[in-house]
Amino acid sequence: MTTTNSKWLDTEMRFDSGVYNKHQVVMVRAQGATVWDETGRSYIDCVAGYGVANIGHSHPDVVRAIKDQAERLIVMPQTLPNDKRAEFLQELAGVLPTGLDRIFLCNSGTEAVEAAKKFAITATGRKKFISMKRGFAGRSLGALAFTWEPKYREPFGDAVDNKNVSFVTYGNVEELRAAVTDEIAAVIIEPVQGEGGVRPASLEFIQAARKFTQEHGALLIMDEIQTGFCRTGKMFATEHFGITPDGMTLAKAMAGGVPVGAFAMTAAVADKMPAGGHGTTFGGNPLAMAAGVAAIRAMKRENMAEQAREKGQYFMEQLRAIDSSKVREVRGLGLMIGMELKEKSAPYIAALEHDESVLTLAATPLVIRFLPPVTISKEQIDQVVASVAKVLKTVNPREVPAAEVKESKQTE
C-alpha cells in the first residue's frame, strides 16, 4: 500500500466542498483502461469515471475532435444553430431506437432526468410518476424525488417533492400493474440498476411496463444514463428487451468523457412542450458535440457493443470461478458487473486499490461494482480477477483501518 504527500491533494482537500470522501491519491494521466497517479504508479481502472469512459480514457479520435473544435468554436447557445450540433444530433438519432428522434441536449444525467420529468408532464397533462425501489436518478431536488435510497433524500426533508412519486419493487409485475393508472405521467426504469446493486431487469418486467403504460396513456422512460453506449453489450440496454420506450435519459459515456446529457423522445412527447418551457446555457455546446460525434463513431467502428458482450461474459465467468465462501453472487450485463459479498465490500475495494492497483466502486454496501472501459484487454481482466481472488483470501476486514474503508458519499 502506498500513500502520498502531495501539494495537489492538500490543495484539493483545502478548497473542496467536503461532500466527497477523497482517496489519498492524485490521478494525473490515463489511457485506455489504465490510469496513473502523480508518483507514476499505474492502476487498472474498473470505475471509468462512474461508467463515463466506455471507449477508454483519452480515445485519440475524441482528443483530436476536441482540439480541432476548440480552435473553431467552443460555445454557441441552442437558439443559434450550429454545424457540429446538427451533426451530433443526426449521429445520435441514427443509433437510437426507431421513433426517438427528438432530442433535448443538456450536460449531465441529472439534467436529463429533470428534462424527462417536465416533458412527461406536458405530454400527458399529469403529474404523478412511478419509480423503482433501489433505483437511482440523480441528486438534484427534482431527480431526488425518483431516487429511492432514503439516505440521499432525508437530509433535505420536504424540499424533495416526492409526494407525486410512487415506488414499486423492481421486477414485481403485479405490483407495477396495480400502480400504473390513468393518473400516471410516466414510469421511469433503469434496465440495469447500478447504484441498487447491479441488478438487470427481467424481460417480463420491462415488457409488462411497456404494456401497462400504453394501456393507461402513460410514458415509459428508460434510464440509460449508465447502461447506454455499449456498456451492456448493446448500444442501449433497452435493446435487450425488444421494446421501444417513449423516452430515454442519456449521459455519461455519450461523448467519451466530455460532459453531455440528453433526453431523447418521440415527436408526440416533444411537441407538447411549449417554446421556452425548458432550457440550458451549456447544453449542446459545439465542443461537447464534436466529442460526441467522435465517440459514437468510434463505438460503431470498433464494434464496442460486441466487445462489451464478449468481455463481460468472460469477466463474469472468471469472477464466478473464484473459490471463496465470501461471495454470494456475480451478476450483470455486458461490462456492468457486480460481485455481491456476504459482508461489507468496502474493505475489499480499499485493498484492491491500495494493494493491487485496481480501481473499483461500491453498489450497495455489499457489492463490488466493475465498470471498466470497453477497451479493457483480456490480460487486464485476468489481472483484476487474480487481484479480487487475492484480496478475498487475504483481507481481514477487522484489520483494515477504518479511514480506508469509509463508504463513499458519491458512487455515481
Q: How confident is the model at residue 412 (pLDDT cuts 50, 70, 90)?
A: low
Contact 142, 113 (CB under 8 A): yes
pLDDT at 406: 56
pLDDT digits (tens, 9 = 90+) for 191-225: 999 999 999 999 999 999 999 999 999 999 999 99
Q: Mean pLDDT throughout 134-152?
A: 93
Residue scoring higher pLDDT (1 or 92): 92
pLDDT digits (tens, 9 = 90+) for 108-141: 999 999 999 999 999 999 999 999 999 999 999 9
Between CA 256 and CA 294 the distance in angstroms is 8
Instruction: Let me know if 286 is exposed, middle or buried by CB neighbors in 10 A (0-12, 13-18, 19+).
Output: buried
Say yes or no to pLDDT of 402 above 90: no
Strand pairing partners for 188?
221
pLDDT at 401: 58
Torsion of CA 314, 318, 320, 321, to 10 degrees: 140
Closest CA to 237 of 201, 277, 269: 201
pLDDT at 2: 44
Say yes or no to pLDDT of 376 above 80: yes
Task: Provide the 10 A C-beta neighbour count for residue 99.
Answer: 14
Q: Is the pTM of this model over 0.75?
A: yes
pLDDT at 408: 45
Say yes or no to pLDDT of 410 above 80: no
Between CA 66 and CA 377 the distance in angstroms is 26
Same fold, 60-301 and 304-395: no
CATH architecture of 304-395: Alpha-Beta Complex (3.90)
Q: Mean pLDDT throughout 384-397?
A: 95
Q: Give domain 60-301's CATH number out of 3.40.630.10, 3.40.640.10, 3.40.50.720, 3.30.930.10.
A: 3.40.640.10
Q: How confident is the model at residue 162 (pLDDT cuts 50, 70, 90)?
A: confident
pLDDT digits (tens, 9 = 90+) for 304-315: 999 999 999 999
Between CA 377 and CA 380 the distance in angstroms is 5
pLDDT at 269: 98
pLDDT at 209: 98
pLDDT at 396: 86
Q: Quick one: cell of 286?
A: 459545439
Say yes or no to pLDDT of 8 above 50: yes
Question: Considering the chain, what is the average pLDDT of its residues?
Answer: 95
Say how many Å lie between the first and final Cα of the chain, rounded: 25
Task: Provide the 10 A C-beta neighbour count for residue 68.
Answer: 12
Closest CA to 117 of 223, 214, 252, 237: 223
Report long-range pairs for 5-14 (Cβ below 8 Å, ≥24 apart).
6/38, 8/38
Say yes or no to pLDDT of 409 above 50: no
Domain regions of the chain by residue span: 60-301, 304-395
Q: How confident is the model at residue 161 (pLDDT cuts 50, 70, 90)?
A: confident
pLDDT digits (tens, 9 = 90+) for 173-189: 999 999 999 999 999 99
Q: Mean pLDDT throughout 83-94?
A: 98
Q: How confident is the model at residue 397 (pLDDT cuts 50, 70, 90)?
A: confident
Say yes or no to pLDDT of 1 above 50: no
CA angle 254, 364, 410 (to 5 degrees): 55
pLDDT digits (tens, 9 = 90+) for 322-363: 999 999 999 999 999 999 999 999 999 999 999 999 999 999
39-53, 137-151, 251-265, 365-379, range with the lowest pLDDT: 137-151
